[in-house]
Amino acid sequence: MAQLSYTTTDAIRAAIGLTVDEVPDQMLQNQGLEKEINLDLDSWLPGHSSLTTEPAVSYLSLYAQWYAAEQVLKQMLLAIPQMIGDGKSEMRRFLNMKVEELYPKASEKRALYKRLLEQDQSIQQDLGVPTLMSASRPDYDPVTNS
């Protein structure tokens, strides 16, 4: 198991239903998934590396897992074995579903955790995102500041 940003190679494989023998750590690491995860997070959640409280850490972990799973499904479709055999018997993986159908499911999961990260007010406060208005006073005079 190799550690990537906010997730592990084991978690990524588990999301798709693969084993380490089918898709080794090195294959996942060589894709640059860690850089992709960080670049993606930087584009819409600057300061993500400073989040240390729950539920932010859990959301980040799950987002990274599903983001990476989505990328693996998109980029490694031909590398994912769909027929497994040991010489005596064979098994077809994804019997009731095609591998291509897993991609939108991974996208949905990634989108869910992105939404949770964007909507959680405590996360926005931790990142220092200002609120438009925290309180108002109808009798406030900006000229006299009273």
11-62, pLDDT tens digit by residue?
Answer: 999 998 888 887 889 989 998 999 999 999 999 999 999 999 999 999 999 9
| Phi, then psi, of 94 in degrees rounded to 5 | 60, 50
**pLDDT top residue among 143 and 112:** 112
pLDDT digits (tens, 9 = 90+) for 81-104: 556 667 787 655 554 556 677 889
24 located within any domain: yes
133 located within any domain: no
134 located within any domain: no
The chain-wide mean pLDDT, for the chain, equals: 83
39 located within any domain: yes
Contacts of 57 (CB under 8 A, 6+ apart): 51
146 located within any domain: no
Q: List the domain range (segments joined by +) for residue 15.
A: 3-126
143 located within any domain: no
140 located within any domain: no
Whole-number pLDDT of residue 136:
57
- Domains of the chain: total: 1
d(CA 119, CA 69): 23
